[in-house]
Structure 1
Amino acid sequence: MTQGSATPLPAPKERRRLREARALTQAELASRLGVSRSTVRSWETGRTTPRGRKLEAYVRLLGVGTTLSDDAVSGRQEGSVPALVGAGAPPPSRENRASENRRASEDRTADGAEPAEHADRGAVDRDRDRDRDRDRPGGEGERGDADQDSAVREPSLTPAQAFDALYAFAAPALVRQTYLLTGRRELARESVERAFQLAWYRWPEVAVDRDPAGWVRATAYEYALSPWHRLRPRYRHPEAPPAGGSERALLDVLLTLPPVYRRTLLLYDGVGLGLPETAAETEASTPAAANRVLHAREAVAARLPELALPEDLHRRLTELGSAERLRAAKPRTVRHHGEHRARQWTRAAIAFTVLLIGVTALTLRTAPDHYEAPLSPPETIHGLPPRSAPGPLSAEELVLRAKLRSQTSSGPERLVPDIR
Structure 2
Amino acid sequence: MTRSTTDEAAVPPLPSPKERRRLREAKSLSEEEVAAAVGVTRATVRSWETGRTSPRGRKRALYAKLIAPEPAVKPEVVKPPVVKPPAVTPEAAAAAAVPEAVPEATDLPETPPAAPPADPPPAPAPISDTRSGAEAPDERRVSPAEAFDELYARTAPGLVRQTYLLTGRRALARESVERAFELAWQRWPEVAVDRDPAGWVRAAAYEYAMSPWHRLRRTHRQPDAPPTEPGKRALFDALLDLPPAYRRTLLLYDGVGLDLPETAAETEASTPAAAGRLMTARAAVAERLPELADAAPAEQSALLHDRIGGLARAEHVPVPRPARAVRTGSENKARLWTRAAVAGVALLIAVTGLTLHTAPTHYEPPISPPERVGGVPPRGGPQKLTAQDLKLQKSLSEQLAHGPERLVPRLE
1:339 is aligned to 331
1:370 partner letter: H
Residues 6-42 of structure 1: per-residue CA shift (max 9 Å, x gap): xxxxxxxxxxxxxxxxxxxxxxxxxxxxx98x99x9x
2: distance between equivalents of 1:285 and 1:174? 24
Offset of residue 272 of structure 1: 0.6
Relative to 1, partners in 2 of residues 1:345 and 1:256: Cα closer, same or farther, differing over 3 Å? same
Q: How does 1:85-96 map to 2 (within 5 A)?
A: none
1:142 is aligned to none
TM-score if structure 2 supplies the norm length? 0.56
Range moving further from structure 2, 251-260 or 300-309: 300-309
1:180 aligns with 2:171: no
Offset of residue 158 of structure 1: 0.6
Greater relative contact order, per chain length (Cα 8 Å cut-off, separation 6+): 1
1:405 is aligned to none
2:348 is aligned to 356
Offset of residue 243 of structure 1: 3.2
Q: How does 1:146-225 map to 2 (within 5 A)?
A: 156-225=141-210
2: distance between equivalents of 1:246 and 1:149? 42
2:254 is aligned to 269
Offset of residue 375 of structure 1: 2.6
Residues 282-312 of structure 1: per-residue CA shift (max 9 Å, x gap): 1111010001000000000012121342221
Residues 195-249 of structure 1: per-residue CA shift (max 9 Å, x gap): 0000000111111111111110000000000000000011123322223222121
Total equivalences in the alignment: 257
Structure 2 unmatched ranges of 5 or more:
1-17, 28-73, 80-128, 294-299, 381-412
Relative to 1, partners in 2 of residues 1:284 and 1:230: Cα closer, same or farther, differing over 3 Å? same
1:325 partner letter: H
1:318 aligns with 2:309: yes
Offset of residue 135 of structure 1: 3.3
Offset of residue 358 of structure 1: 1.2
1:323 partner letter: A
1:256 is aligned to 241
1:237 aligns with 2:222: yes
Offset of residue 159 of structure 1: 0.6
2: distance between equivalents of 1:219 and 1:136? 47
1:290 is aligned to 275
1:122 is aligned to none
Offset of residue 344 of structure 1: 1.4
1:306 is aligned to 291
User: Which is helix-richer, 1 or 2?
Assistant: 1
Range moving further from structure 2, 182-191 or 377-386: 377-386
2:308 partner letter: L
Offset of residue 153 of structure 1: 5.1
1:329 is aligned to 321
1: distance between equivalents of 2:159 and 2:288? 26
2:49 is aligned to none
Relative to 1, partners in 2 of residues 1:171 and 1:382: Cα closer, same or farther, differing over 3 Å? same
Relative to 1, partners in 2 of residues 1:171 and 1:137: Cα closer, same or farther, differing over 3 Å? farther
2: distance between equivalents of 1:260 and 1:238? 18
2: distance between equivalents of 1:297 and 1:374? 73
Offset of residue 336 of structure 1: 1.0
1: distance between equivalents of 2:78 and 2:194? 31
Offset of residue 173 of structure 1: 1.2
- SS in structure 1 of the partner of residue 274 of structure 2: helix
Offset of residue 151 of structure 1: 7.4
Relative to 1, partners in 2 of residues 1:151 and 1:299: Cα closer, same or farther, differing over 3 Å? closer
1:279 is aligned to 264
TM-score if structure 1 supplies the norm length? 0.55
Relative to 1, partners in 2 of residues 1:148 and 1:352: Cα closer, same or farther, differing over 3 Å? closer
Relative to 1, partners in 2 of residues 1:135 and 1:186: Cα closer, same or farther, differing over 3 Å? same
CA-based RMSD of the aligned residues comes to 3.4
Relative to 1, partners in 2 of residues 1:135 and 1:382: Cα closer, same or farther, differing over 3 Å? farther
Relative to 1, partners in 2 of residues 1:150 and 1:347: Cα closer, same or farther, differing over 3 Å? closer
Residues 75-114 of structure 1: per-residue CA shift (max 9 Å, x gap): xxxxxxxxxxxxxxxxxxxxxxxxxxxxxxxxxxxxxxxx
Structure 1 unmatched ranges of 5 or more:
1-34, 48-133, 140-146, 388-420
2: distance between equivalents of 1:215 and 1:148? 19
1:135 is aligned to 75
Offset of residue 191 of structure 1: 0.4
Is the Cα contact below 8 Å between 2:253 and 2:263 reproduced in 1? yes
- SS in structure 1 of the partner of residue 240 of structure 2: helix
Offset of residue 386 of structure 1: 4.2
Offset of residue 328 of structure 1: 2.0
Relative to 1, partners in 2 of residues 1:180 and 1:385: Cα closer, same or farther, differing over 3 Å? closer
Percent identical:
63
Residues 173-197 of structure 1: per-residue CA shift (max 9 Å, x gap): 1111101100111111100000000
- SS in structure 2 of the partner of residue 135 of structure 1: coil
2:153 partner letter: A
1: distance between equivalents of 2:77 and 2:163? 48
